[in-house]
Structure 1
Amino acid sequence: MSCYQSLAGAYDALIVDGAHRKRAAYLHRLLQKEKQRVETVLDLGCGTGTVTCLLAALGYRMIGADLSEEMLTEAARKAEALPENQRPLLICQSMNRLRLTEPVDAAVSTLDALNYVTSNAAMRETLRRVFKWLRPGGLFVFDVNTPYKLRRMDGEVYTDETEDSFCVWRTAFSEKTKVCTYGVDLFSLRPDGAWDRAWEEHRERAWEETELRLLLETAGFQEIHVTGDLRQSPPCAGEDRVIFRCRKPEGSQKQPQTQKRSNA
């Protein structure tokens, strides 16, 4: 069973951390400080589209990309609450197969979406594709769960519940692969009072700052900065999440050709 095939419908109720609006506001402040006006923004690994839609409501022309059709279905339902001219374009694509119809002014990725890229080759290609589709001078901002957090989760059991769903997360961290595996049991209440059970597996890679810096530099990014979560200051010891900011050089010649929208 693929990631989020069963969890997608219950994700917002179970997983909401209360920080979506703060995260969108943080990104908005960064984008407003850009020298060139930012109009089109890619949300890579957009999930159920909460941050995507919040940024769209702030006036950005949003493109939300995610591999999970089920998560994108939830994002599309959420987007229906926006005026038609503000609704994001949602595309079902793997991060390392990203292909857009036009360059974007900026790219963001939130809530540890990039941790789901678990191999060096896939991360290298993902960053290369983001770089390719950014306009020269474009900003890329993303957050990741830290190795400290993922190691700490080894052997833990977590639960989330609502009136009609109950979720159990069992985690295991491998020092050999640097991957934290989540086994997720989801119980959903049926109209007849019985419960359905579904299971799916999630895997997140613990990326060291030095690894990501090297991969970003290899892709061509410059001005690489790392901060604590939703802050402008450097990370502290024991941070659970950090934010990377980097930029495609203004003089870069690696620029994609605009394609017809039907080819996305």
Structure 2
Amino acid sequence: MEAYTGFASVYDMYMDNIPYDDWANNIKTLFQKYDMPMEIVCDLGCGTGQMTRRLKAMGYDMIGIDISYDMLMEAMQVEDSDGILYLCQDMKDFELYGTVGAVVSVCDSMNYLKDTDELLTVCKLANNYLDPKGLFIFDIKTEHYFKKLGSSTIAENREEGSFIWENDYNEETRDNLYYLTIYEENEEGTFDRYEEEHLQHAFTVDEIKSAIEKSELQLLEVLDVSTMQAPKEDSDRLYFIAREVIK
């Protein structure tokens, strides 16, 4: 079942609690900390372009990549999306026309990679398309987050529609399978029903560090997204900041 199809049109409505402004400011802070000039930035797993547009507004030339055509269509319909190049590609084999100053991936897009082989593939691709000393910055939901999520169910009703989000986390495989049921009001005043399945994987910090090293990137630091400080055992989301060092 293809992810983010029926959900694409209402994604931003239900995800309005995501602190995109804070995350964009975090990314800009990291760019400045590591002296990245105002260059081209590639946003992997850009979805509806929330982060892509914010970074563009900060002065960066943006490329947004996502595997979901429906999510990209939503992104391109937003008024301030002019000047952004959106590409419908799988992050595991994406292609760019040249190198970029940075590759970023936020909102746990990297958790959709199934295993360490896919993680290594994406790290190598990012390295391949980075300018000399370019940055690869991505976030990851932690094992702690998924264990806390467990087998919980999240539901929300709004005037325009409703959704039910059922989680099933397997601590042995570290896979979280979640089922989305979306009810969206149509023009006739009735509700259309969509069902989707999503699978995310919880990588360990050591697995991620190993993939970064094997891809010949230099790991600069790991940070808790909410505090921008060193991670703790109960951190829900982490940034990994790596740099190109070979070219």
TM range (shorter): over 0.9
**Cα 1:144/1:36, change in 2 over 3 Å:** closer
- Aligned residues between the structures: 247
The separation in 2 between residues aligned to 1:25 and 1:184, in whole angstroms, is 30
TM-superposition CA deviations, 1:55-93 (whole Å, max 9, x none):
111110001011000111111112x325x4xx2110011
- Tell me the TM-score normalized by structure 1: 0.90
Aligned position for 1:9: 9
Aligned position for 2:215: 219
TM-superposition CA deviations, 1:90-132 (whole Å, max 9, x none):
0011111011001000111111010011122211111110110
Kindly provide the amino acid, as one letter, of the partner of residue 75 in structure 2: A
Once the two structures are TM-superposed, the CA of residue 161 in structure 1 deviates from its matched residue by 3.1
Given that 2:64 and 2:86 are in contact with CA atoms closer than 8 Å, whether structure 1 keeps it comes out as yes
- Tell me the TM-score normalized by structure 2: 0.95
Q: Answer yes or no: is 1:200 the counterpart of 2:196.
A: yes
TM-superposition CA deviations, 1:117-150 (whole Å, max 9, x none):
1122211111110110011201111111111111
Equivalences for residues 1-264 of structure 1 within 5 A = 1-78=1-78, 80-82=79-81, 84=82, 87-249=83-245, 252-253=246-247
Kindly provide the amino acid, as one letter, of the partner of residue 66 in structure 2: D
The separation in 2 between residues aligned to 1:238 and 1:8, in whole angstroms, is 31
The separation in 2 between residues aligned to 1:69 and 1:158, in whole angstroms, is 26
Given that 1:8 and 1:71 are in contact with CA atoms closer than 8 Å, whether structure 2 keeps it comes out as yes
| Percent identical | 30
Given that 1:142 and 1:244 are in contact with CA atoms closer than 8 Å, whether structure 2 keeps it comes out as yes
Report the 3-state secondary structure (helix = DSSP H, G, I; strand = E; otherwise coil) of the residue aligned with 2:5.
coil
Given that 1:146 and 1:240 are in contact with CA atoms closer than 8 Å, whether structure 2 keeps it comes out as yes
Report the 3-state secondary structure (helix = DSSP H, G, I; strand = E; otherwise coil) of the residue aligned with 2:98.
coil
**Cα 1:71/1:213, change in 2 over 3 Å:** same
The CA RMSD measured in Å over matched residues stands at 1.4
Report the 3-state secondary structure (helix = DSSP H, G, I; strand = E; otherwise coil) of the residue aligned with 1:81.
helix
The separation in 2 between residues aligned to 1:236 and 1:158, in whole angstroms, is 26
Once the two structures are TM-superposed, the CA of residue 242 in structure 1 deviates from its matched residue by 1.0
The runs of at least 4 consecutive aligned structure 1 residues that moved more than 4 Å come to none
Report the 3-state secondary structure (helix = DSSP H, G, I; strand = E; otherwise coil) of the residue aligned with 1:73.
helix
Once the two structures are TM-superposed, the CA of residue 160 in structure 1 deviates from its matched residue by 2.7
The separation in 2 between residues aligned to 1:157 and 1:91, in whole angstroms, is 33
Once the two structures are TM-superposed, the CA of residue 177 in structure 1 deviates from its matched residue by 2.2
